[in-house]
Amino acid sequence: MNYIVEEKHNGERIDKFLVGVMENVSRTDVQKLIEAGEVKVGGGKVSKNFRVETGMAVVVEKMIEKESSTLEPEDIPLNIVYEDDDIVVINKPRNLVVHPGNGVSKGTLAAALLYHFKENLSTVNGPLRPGIVHRLDKDTPGLMVVAKNDAAHRHLAHQLETRTLHRTYNALVWGCPRDLEGTIDAPIGRNPKNRLKMAVVKGGKESRTHYVAKQFFAIATLLELQLESGRTHQIRVHSRYTGHPVVGDPLYDGRDESLNRVPPLMKPVAEKVLEIAPAQLLQAVKIELIHPRTNKKLTFKVPMEEPFANVLKLLKKECPASAPVYDEEEGFRDFDAQIRFDEDDEDFDEYAEPLEISPDEAAPVKERKTRAQRLAEKKATAAKRRAVAAERKLIKQMKAARRKGIAPEDFVEPGYEPTIDPELLE
């Protein structure tokens, strides 16, 4: 299809021009055509910010194929954790897209829900997303709550908005964060150089991720995370932003890019990890919510999925946190600073310039610090780890003493209470 530029459109961006002259298309539709090379001027491809001039002939070689507005039910098995008249809690597997979009029209969770529950699903989010209250990435398994009617949907959506519905995730990240617990506060938006990716960007949507380190290995750390917001790819983007990508993440440097930073002594183990990990080792393991009808608090948990659990077993066996890490310049040393994407790296971020954020616009995860400050923080972190390890040992000794009938008063000072959860030692 040819479109001749009239004088009134002179100087317009080509995507805006085409939206104005084509029927029933959005700017996103047009930009997808441009990125696919289907829009040409003078026989050559153009970018979306190309400016048209009077008399130009703009050729659109392929028209927009609109997605169907109806959803066909599909007999896809569901792992149902809980169900009543108002909600369903499911354990979504890996490799399952939640709803149609971005070229995916079949094989979705939404189609499976429609097959199993038919008309007993909320319609708040339209015909392509029946019952869908929130999402998980295609390769992120774990718990999701589904609404079976509109009233339940609105109640759950309000809980998400007011942060009374809590979602807890486990993630294995490369290296070890400098802080063993904290909040990553950095805005997220579309990556300016790759529309398939999200990134921490100036002017992005407010995004906060809370995390606690739960288990340490020589090349990775198991984190427990909670989202204060729910942006696309939030945990994966924030993990990459802090310099510790999620292990196995193919989109945010969690595979070969991180493998290249593993010390030589540990690289064989890291390679085994990536052979086991099908994609990002990230799982939604717990949901806490208020039931829309009874107002009772409900908590649902699922065990760690098999690939994730197998990776942890491998790491525990072959490179526990006490294992030394070899550095070509410094020899064997502590593992806490390893496998980190740092701002000093030449290839820290291929899109660093457009992602700069001033302190007035966001709360950065980290500030540039002097070497002395970094060393001081490293020593403090190491001391904290030693204290935690000592307390773990003490708790084990207390348990052993209790089994032998020795009173705690004979073992520790009166009033002693552990500062870490004894369940971690089970």
Residue of 412, 414, 408 whose CA lies nearest to 390: 412
Catalytic residue among 86, 137, 139, 179: 137
* 206 within 8 A of 187, measured Cβ to Cβ: yes
89 vs 66: CA distance, rounded Å: 32
The residues that bridge with 3 in the sheet, in sequence order, are 58
What are the C-alpha distances in Å from 92 to residues 75, 98, 230, 280? 15, 9, 17, 15
Sequence-distant (6+) residues with CB within 8 A of 299 are 286, 287, 288
Element (H, E) at 310: helix 306-318
Q: Is 104 helix (H, G, I), strand (E, B) or coil?
A: strand
* Catalytic residue list contains 349: no
Q: Is 420 helix (H, G, I), strand (E, B) or coil?
A: coil
* 225 within 8 A of 281, measured Cβ to Cβ: no
* 199 within 8 A of 355, measured Cβ to Cβ: yes
66 vs 325: CA distance, rounded Å: 54
Catalytic residues: 137
